[in-house]
A and B are shown apart, each in its own frame.
Chain A
């Protein structure tokens, strides 16, 4: 069992003929992901990495019945790519692209209101993986293993770090979701936690948050209402100086909200254990 993605999910890759898109499509295929096609305007009718290439997502959906997409197109075109996927009826949209202007994403979020069945992950995220079954994005499968820990994270590399430690300790993962670090993004911690709550295969939960915004606080409030999952949270950026941007446009502290302390306290109040370093997570989860 898993959330959002499994072996049956019919995946296309937007930007399949690009360097990153191509490289990661191969990685996705190597895991056994059901990649049914890709898009690249102007290259429709050709084949790439053994799958048909289409000019548009609508063409791809019509021909392949695809219901999920991984977006690897450059930032100036990424917002349009997300909306194109939603309009074509895709229900799981994973946008890996980094550096999308915030105003573009605000318009995307508004656009997506008309497509409630479309779930967006990202942008600026590593995507998601259901170990042993399928992945959309760039999470290396080598560091994952099938199991019962649900992992949701705002940071790409910290996700790998934790997944790797979990796997090494024999604690496999049901699904790993990197929601991304941008201030305006698709699924939030709360959304993903709700999916994990409903997944019988998931028994444990790891949340990896970051300073900025209050999505972690909202997830903590949700968990405080009662959860069947044994959860551990970790927040990075506790030593980041106030007002300094740390790469993620999202990691900006404003007032008391969004500080590492406020997030850690919210989790503790919700009965969620808070790890000091990522190395501590495995031990606390046992």
Chain B
């Protein structure tokens, strides 16, 4: 779960990190009211992606009218596929310097990494490429977190020794986002040093591990649902499916992420385009298959569905029963190709045949078949289960 800036800042504030005064505005009037309270403000689009400044999602407002006007322009705007639901109006800062500070998971090192650089504010990836030596790094111990002396070294390495004390204290607070919130990314860029020498979070990115959602139900309750997600992905999540929307017209169901990704590759190789990725996982039961099919059929662009199941925990006969029941329950009329293999595959294939679904032999054969059926035009496309 990626938190929005205002949400991430609330979490940072709860950890004791200074944030600029700010107010969420859902409409232009609220933005004008925010100006009345805070004075000159930055009106910032709240979307869970980077690059919103370049997309016109951040505007400075020096008057109430400007704040109102900025909110009018920004709310509802589309930034990288996300409709901006609200803006965050934040008191403009007296900026002396901008620093980069971030924790993230270094998967090659199988550890968290802390990065600190005096060259904050701009694109840190560019800094990393052009002058990697200007980013100081530390792998904090996974159990006890970073120690004071380690952080002091880090701060001096980053040539930020003049603010060592406040910085070390702040990094220790930010680190708490890892053990306490299962953060995969906890980043402040820019971390602003004000004219008075205060250190304040200018922006904040916080991504919470979905695998740990059960430890953080409160965050989901408080912050979930602000962003209007892809409707199919939202529905799939409600039904407990791993589903990602893509822009093609062939629905895909597979068991296991690798097989599912492999199926997308096969469909593309056969000349088709997948409408989605849907992993029904190991141990997929009849109702899971039906749920997956129901979500895929919500999408009017879908012209046919390919189901690719190879069993480990998953039992082929159960999958076959689920497919037939789902097709019948949903009154599905689109072409459906089912590639079934693995535990109890013979029973599964028999059952499919008895119910008018020809099972595909290999994933590649099945992919070619569904591409052909969805391309063939109306007559073939109207036949169910061919």
A residues apposed to B, CB below 8 Å = 20, 24, 75-76, 98-107, 109-111, 126, 138-140, 142-143, 153-161, 164, 181, 183-185, 208, 210-215, 236-241, 244-251, 255, 276-279
Inter-chain contact A157/B211, CB cutoff 8 Å: no
Inter-chain contact B282/A155, CB cutoff 8 Å: no
Q: For A255, what are the chain B residues with a Cβ–Cβ distance below 8 Å?
A: 125
Q: For A75, what are the chain B residues with a Cβ–Cβ distance below 8 Å?
A: 211
Inter-chain contact A99/B277, CB cutoff 8 Å: no
Inter-chain contact B256/A277, CB cutoff 8 Å: no
Partner of A109, one of B111, B182, B283, B342: B111
Q: For B277, what are the chain A residues with a Cβ–Cβ distance below 8 Å?
A: 240, 244, 246-247
Q: Knowing A98-B282, A103-B178, A236-B261 touch, does A278 contact B363 (C-beta < 8 A)? A: yes
Is B122 at the interface (CB under 8 A from chain A)? no
Inter-chain contact A236/B265, CB cutoff 8 Å: yes
Inter-chain contact B257/A155, CB cutoff 8 Å: yes
Partner of A211, one of B211, B261, B274: B261
Task: Give the distance to chain B from A240, nearest Cβ to Cβ, in Å.
Answer: 6
Q: Knowing A160-B342, A240-B277, A246-B279 touch, does A20 contact B259 (C-beta < 8 A)? A: no
Is B378 at the interface (CB under 8 A from chain A)? no
Q: For B341, what are the chain A residues with a Cβ–Cβ distance below 8 Å?
A: 160-161, 164
Is B255 at the interface (CB under 8 A from chain A)? yes
When C-beta atoms are compared, the residue in chain B nearest to A107 turns out to be B142
Partner of A160, one of B112, B214, B311: B311
Inter-chain contact B108/A102, CB cutoff 8 Å: no
Partner of B107, one of A76, A100, A160, A184: A184
Inter-chain contact B265/A106, CB cutoff 8 Å: no
Inter-chain contact A103/B364, CB cutoff 8 Å: no
Partner of A210, one of B143, B214, B215, B261: B261
Inter-chain contact A245/B244, CB cutoff 8 Å: yes
Bound Cα distance from A251 to B259, whole angstroms: 13
When C-beta atoms are compared, the residue in chain A nearest to B279 turns out to be A247
Q: Give a binary string over B181-212; 1 marks a CB under 8 Å from any A CB, 0 the rest.
A: 01010000000000000000000000001111
Inter-chain contact B142/A244, CB cutoff 8 Å: no
When C-beta atoms are compared, the residue in chain B nearest to A153 turns out to be B258
When C-beta atoms are compared, the residue in chain B nearest to A142 turns out to be B343
Task: Give the distance to chain A from B165, nearest Cβ to Cβ, in Å.
Answer: 28
Q: For B125, what are the chain A residues with a Cβ–Cβ distance below 8 Å?
A: 255
Inter-chain contact A250/B107, CB cutoff 8 Å: yes
Inter-chain contact B257/A103, CB cutoff 8 Å: no
Inter-chain contact A157/B142, CB cutoff 8 Å: no
Partner of A106, one of B111, B211, B310: B111
Q: For A238, what are the chain B residues with a Cβ–Cβ distance below 8 Å?
A: 265
Bound Cα distance from A157 to B282, whole angstroms: 9
Is B242 at the interface (CB under 8 A from chain A)? yes
Q: Knowing A75-B211, A102-B184, A247-B242 touch, does A20 contact B257 (C-beta < 8 A)? A: no
Q: Knowing A100-B211, A107-B143, A246-B279 touch, does A155 contact B269 (C-beta < 8 A)? A: no
Task: Give the distance to chain A from B383, nearest Cβ to Cβ, in Å.
Answer: 27
Is B105 at the interface (CB under 8 A from chain A)? yes
- Provide a sorted-by-A list of 10 A–B residue pairs whose CB atoms are within 8 angstroms: A102-B209, A139-B312, A140-B342, A140-B343, A142-B343, A158-B256, A160-B342, A181-B257, A239-B265, A278-B363
Q: For A244, what are the chain B residues with a Cβ–Cβ distance below 8 Å?
A: 244, 246, 277
Bound Cα distance from A182 to B112, whole angstroms: 15
Given A75-B211, A156-B256, A185-B110, 16 more pairs with CB closer than 8 A: A102-B209, A103-B209, A103-B212, A109-B111, A160-B311, A161-B363, A211-B261, A213-B107, A241-B246, A246-B277, A249-B210, A255-B125, A277-B269, A277-B363, A277-B364, A279-B362
Q: For A185, what are the chain B residues with a Cβ–Cβ distance below 8 Å?
A: 110
What are the nearest 3 A-B pairs in CB distance? A155-B258, A157-B256, A157-B259
Q: For B269, what are the chain A residues with a Cβ–Cβ distance below 8 Å?
A: 276-277
Q: For A103, what are the chain B residues with a Cβ–Cβ distance below 8 Å?
A: 112, 142, 178-179, 182, 209, 212
Inter-chain contact B257/A248, CB cutoff 8 Å: yes
Q: Give a binary string over B92-130; 1 marks a CB under 8 Å from any A CB, 0 the rest.
A: 000000000000010110111000000000000100000
Q: For B242, what are the chain A residues with a Cβ–Cβ distance below 8 Å?
A: 247
When C-beta atoms are compared, the residue in chain B nearest to A161 turns out to be B310
Q: Chain B CB within 10 Å — which of A210, A236, A239, A277 has the most?
A: A239
Partner of B108, one of A99, A107, A214: A214
Bound Cα distance from A240 to B279, whole angstroms: 14
Q: Chain A CB within 10 Å — which of B211, B246, B341 has the most?
A: B211
Inter-chain contact A240/B342, CB cutoff 8 Å: no
Q: For B255, what are the chain A residues with a Cβ–Cβ distance below 8 Å?
A: 157
Q: Knowing A110-B111, A160-B310 touch, does A237 contact B342 (C-beta < 8 A)? A: no
Task: Give the distance to chain A from B142, nearest Cβ to Cβ, in Å.
Answer: 4
Inter-chain contact B110/A106, CB cutoff 8 Å: yes
Q: For A212, what are the chain B residues with a Cβ–Cβ distance below 8 Å?
A: 107
Task: Give the distance to chain A from B36, nearest Cβ to Cβ, in Å.
Answer: 39
When C-beta atoms are compared, the residue in chain A nearest to B268 turns out to be A239
When C-beta atoms are compared, the residue in chain A nearest to B264 turns out to be A239
Task: Give the distance to chain B from A263, nearest Cβ to Cβ, in Å.
Answer: 13
Is B63 at the interface (CB under 8 A from chain A)? no
Which residues of chain B in 328-380 are interfacial with respect to chain A, using CB atoms and an 8 Å cutoff?
341-343, 362-364
